[in-house]
Structure 1
Amino acid sequence: MNKIKLFAGALTFMTTMAPPIHAYAATASHAELNAAEKNIDLDKSVNLQNSINLTDEIAKENQDSNIMFSPTSLNFALGMIAEGAKGETKNALNEYLGTDDFAAYARKYMNVIKSYNTEDENYGYTSKLKIADALWVNRGLTLQDQFQKNAEDNFEAEAEILDFSDKENTCNTINAWCNENTDGLIPEIMKPDMLNENSELCLTNSLYFESGWSQDPWDVSDEKEKFGDNEETKYMTSIGDNYYENDAATAFEKYYANNLSFIGILPKAEGDFTLDELDIEGLLESEPEYDEVNCKMPKLNFETTAELSDILSRIGLENVFSDDADFSGIADKAVHVSSVLQKTKLELDENGTKAAAVTAVTMECMSAMDTDPIIKDVELTRPFAFLIYDSANEEVLFMGKVLTVQ
């Protein structure tokens, strides 16, 4: 079995004046969640389309590079600030998140993922999927009682007060939290120059995944073959668990030991592509005829840094960055989001995968069967897209685009 460590996403939100608050999110079992929180109204189609739009925008700004993005980590961070948003600001966040009660979904999902943490070890990887949240408040800022309670009850976020004027110590404290909650994959999210006299609150979310494959490790070729037109690499090969196909792409799905999966997506047309063109929602709903799917892909090792503020503004969240933002439910001072930064890292080979994401959000004061077997091949030997996916809950944990094997 190959193991994959899925990446840890940490989202950091900095707002104006407040003492730092840590938040750690726990996880629970499917049975516990299904009982009381069965019918949470969350539009997964909206979630998926927003994830695709963001990934395509990040790719557009990094046209010669591989990129990866964590929708889950960003959504948990935005879901936390939505708890303190009002009016048009609240409406914009609800529309982006696909629900008017993301906190209920967060509470449920953190319970659900308890069952993914078996601690079983295989080929050096342990089955884990963990989410943690924290609130870091600048000394002198007072959080609203209801906001702090909602963050603790729904996101398991602990609160800690820091002196933001001591920039180095503040960053060291937050970075130590990120390092611990991503098992060292994201050792740093904050730098002193990210803080200014108006910085008051920082919200962080981390997402960490690790698991071996459900079957034996991939085979690795001894010789290099072409990737795209101009590169060469040694490929991994294996038998996949599921095959998908639509007019735009073919894809294989390969399960991890904890039943999450890696989905490799090959566009049918060669050359550049966007994820939006691939109709990923339709692709995952397809039911083509096949008996076996042969998988082929390169090892992956890359990281991405993306400033998301402009992208989020373009896709409907401009209000949260403006002086018109209403976060009066968060603290006793008027604040708005000034920046959103996400870092991600992915390492994938025949024995497993490590992946991590950290997002920093800064908030400031405002002013049918054939007789012959049907064998399908999905060979990721040119630029492709991928997901790390929780199919049981339709949750896209990570989404990316691979252009190079260098």
Structure 2
Amino acid sequence: MTVTWTSGNTLELLENGEDFFPAVFDAIRQARHSVIIETFIIFEDKVGNELQQVLIEAATRGVHIEVTVDGYGSADLTPGYIQAMTSVGIGFHLFDPRPRRMGMRTNLFRRLHRKIVVVDGTLAFVGGINFAADHLADFGPTAKQDYAISIRGPLVDDVARLALEALTPVQPRISWWRLGKRGTAQSKNREGDDTQAALVLRDNDSHQNDIELHYRVGIRAAQRDITIANAYFFPGYRFLRDLRKAAQRGVRVRLILQGEPDMPIVRTATTMLYDYLLSAGVEIYEYCERPLHGKVATVDGIWSTVGSSNLDPLSLALNLEANVMIHDRAFSSHLQERLDSLITDYCQLMQRAPVSRRKIQRVFIGVFIFHFLRRYPAWAGWLPARKPLLKTMLPDVEQASEGKP
């Protein structure tokens, strides 16, 4: 679980696409050296099209650009969308693309679920927001509620290093100089907010449970309050036990979960945990305004996290994820205020089920659920773990020269 904590960072909370997209697009428009993007989803909608346009404009003025999308999450991108970028020199990569079977996507597990942007080695963005219009309120009732952060300071080095390492199989000779490393070194000398922060990963090599362990350390250290807002909540037994113990020792523990889920089966599974948590004094609130997509938490108004990791088996045991852990009273208190507002204005407090219903759940469902929660990390390790392919999409002229369609 060893990570590098850095001081002298300046972080800004970005809530939903209304904050996130303008900040990212403006940064790309001002880029001088490089832009690196890793994301689970790009859709060809008004957001994806604007992203494409600002990247093309940056590439035509000489900015080095690398974009990596997940082969499952972005499987519907058309060749024309990608070709428009590769034709101007943008590196465009698919993480583990797999053929469809009977029209179905087959690459379900071990996805690239991180959402990272690095501009000129001096500014980074990390969070849970994809490049899709459903992160904007004007999308309608199914628009997602989500969070990200912008980062300036030494932590940007760690984010950039992660992005570069991911590109090594296809771009082994990208240098820090080309990506604006000089700018990063200078950023360390500027005065920031002195926020302490660390980039924490989950991968299938040496960081298999780092994010979960950092959550659990924060929960066990809590003295006053814990607030977790997470879209897909189905963590392991030890995580649930830590939440119960925190509530039983007098910590106010609040969970903000989906009340209007984008996938109804997710809420069905999560509600199986309600009685176990509510019986220990954990408060559960369902966010009912629109689908919750956030992956954030605060502890005692001092510690907080923002990132891409859900608290479910896919994120905690299979996917590639990135969260920023933050130790800063001003930032954590601000995030806490935003979550308090969510609870007050848009959430419904859950109550314990009637005794008769609880007995039925314990007899017919409880044993299976908790045995699953105890064992899913080990089971996840049995799933196919072949080395994922990073496929670079070539401009048409290069594909033709190699005899590709």
Is TM > 0.5 for Structure 1 vs Structure 2?
no
Greater strand fraction, Structure 1 or Structure 2: 1
The two structures have a TM-score, normalised by structure 2, of: 0.23
TM-score computed with the length of structure 1 as normaliser? 0.23
Higher relative contact order (CA 8 A, sep 6+): 1
Q: Which of the pair is proportionally richer in helix?
A: 2
